[in-house]
Amino acid sequence: MQVKVKVLIIIHLSVNFLDLVYWFIYLVLLMNVNLQRKIDQIIGVFICRILSLFNRNRRPALPPQGTRRILVILLSEMGSLVLDHPMLQLLKSTYPQASISVLQFKKNREILEIMDVVPRDNIYTLDPSSPVKLLKDIMRVVIQLRRRQFDVSIDCELFHRISSILSFLSGAPVRVGFHRHTQEGLYRGNFINSPVLYNPYQHISQQFITLAESIGSDAFPRVKRLVTPLNAQLPSIQLTCAETEAFAERLQAQRPIAAGKKMVLIYPSGGLLSIRAWPLESYCRLAERLLKAGYAVGIIGLKEDQSLAETIQAHCGHADCIDLAGFTQTLRELMVLFHLAALLITNDGGPGQFSALTPIPTIVFFGPETPALYGPLDDKTAVFHLPLSCSPCLSAYNHRNSPCDGDNICLTSIGVDAVVEKALNMLTT
């Protein structure tokens, strides 16, 4: 008996070591998406197969009233935390006595705090800014999670293997997550003992709700529910007059615009997935037309997006075309800017989701991904999307690795005239 226990301990330590190696390599290659996918495919599959040896055929019986602690894992997508909000609200109402926690990357913590949906002490983070920090965080967080003795872990990632491995290491006896079942998709082992059928025909917020409803279900597939229209009640960020006025004064002092002009914000970056970006030339022409119509244009983004802003400024040659890339230091400051501006025009990404928490009307461009799955959950957002035969080409089944050769005509075919017309209509109504 003692020999068996020792063997299990050795195997468990080996699995943790492999997991750390996997994370280390994943971080080292963080800026190269294709290498990320390759490492995930080779090492991730191996770790998942090892962990599957620990899988039990039947999950522990856990009636809903016995659920005390629930862990939600949603690491990488900051915008998805907004789309995850209806599921978190459902968990709170279904299990009012349960403590709900979230595991995410440190950079995404602020949006969860802004939405104020879980206590701050229940937010666990991993810092991927350096290999050493990440490795330390993994060891620290896994220990913390196991000490909390979670009853349920809900893996909200689609087919990434990292989150499923962390779900296993959390020690939760009930592990909820998307599963490919008989469909094609990415292998993640068979240790998800409450597997939910991933449905590419339903909005991701609806699928997150299905994950929550799988707790306590014995159906197969785990949940068979009637999908009704989602009436999402997203929180509105609460700002003080003092912080709004202070930000407005700093904005006017450092990036002055003509008095009385409404400002349109544009976000031309595609982030790590440049294929999601409407052409820069189109943004240049859009900004030029808006300036001629009497509006100021603010170009938002990260500090590394300043070259995009400079290109647009050089094209327009107008004092009211303002470089705001890197100007906002926090997500909350970006939200304040949204309160001061009249319209946001953005590629598919975080800003288009964050704007749903503010009063600003928004235009979002979709192409490689579809609004049917990832459209914002508010009624003041207009979507431009051309349903081409090859769109969407980024999906859970291909690890968001588009087969496109870079000629993303799903976006290049969206005309500037149509966008300007829609923008002016939204600005005047």
Q: What is the pLDDT of residues 160-200, one digit of tens each?
A: 788 888 999 999 989 999 887 776 667 777 788 888 988 88
Q: Using the Cα atoms of residue 68, residue 70, residue 176 and residue 213 in order, give the sign of their dihedral.
A: positive
Q: Which residue has the tokens 């022409």?
A: 285
| 3-state SS assignment for residue 234 | coil
Is 193 found in the same domain as 71? yes
Is 260 found in the same domain as 208? no
In a domain, 391, yes or no: yes
In a domain, 423, yes or no: yes
pLDDT at 85: 94
Domain count, the chain: 2
Is 368 found in the same domain as 271? yes
pLDDT at 406: 81
Mean pLDDT for 14-33 is 53
How distant, in Å, are the alpha carbons of 29, 37, 73, 75, 146 from that of 139? 20, 23, 16, 16, 11
Flag whether pLDDT at 392 surpasses 50.
yes
Q: How many CB atoms neighbour CB 183 within 10 A?
A: 12
d(CA 73, CA 105): 10
pLDDT at 181: 72
How many Cα atoms occupy the beta-carbon half-sphere of 293 within 13 Å? 18
d(CA 254, CA 327): 9
Strand arrangement of the beta sheet that strand 321-325 belongs to: 321-325, 296-301, 263-267, 343-347, 362-366, 381-385
pLDDT at 232: 81
Residue 98, judged by CB atoms within 10 A of its CB (0-12, 13-18, 19+), counts as buried
Q: What does the mean pLDDT of the chain come to?
A: 86
In a domain, 6, yes or no: no
Is 252 found in the same domain as 150? no
Flag whether pLDDT at 389 surpasses 60.
yes
Q: Exposure pattern of 38-69 as b/e (b: 16+ CB <10 Å)?
A: ebbeebbeebbebbeeeeeeebeebeeeebeb
Q: How confident is the model at residue 10 (pLDDT cuts 50, 70, 90)?
A: very low
d(CA 410, CA 402): 13
CATH of the domain at 410: 3.40.50.2000
Is 271 found in the same domain as 197? no
Read off the pLDDT of residues 40-85 as tens digits, 9 standing for 90 and up: 666 777 777 777 777 654 566 565 667 899 999 998 778 889 999 9
Flag whether pLDDT at 207 surpasses 70.
yes
In a domain, 21, yes or no: no
d(CA 100, CA 98): 6
Flag whether pLDDT at 38 surpasses 70.
no
Read off the pLDDT of residues 219-256 as tens digits, 9 standing for 90 and up: 888 888 888 888 888 988 889 999 999 999 999 999 98
d(CA 22, CA 272): 21
Expressed as residue numbers, the domain containing 375 is: 241-427
pLDDT at 180: 76
Is 107 found in the same domain as 197? yes
| 3-state SS assignment for residue 29 | coil
Percent above pLDDT 90 for the chain:
58
Read off the pLDDT of residues 326-344 as tens digits, 9 standing for 90 and up: 999 999 999 999 999 999 9
In a domain, 313, yes or no: yes
Is 207 found in the same domain as 246? no
Q: How confident is the model at residue 6 (pLDDT cuts 50, 70, 90)?
A: very low
Element (H, E) at 343: strand 343-347
**By mean pLDDT, which of 1-10, 136-145, 193-202, 382-391 is the weakest?**
1-10
Is 95 found in the same domain as 187? yes
Residues belonging to the chain:
429
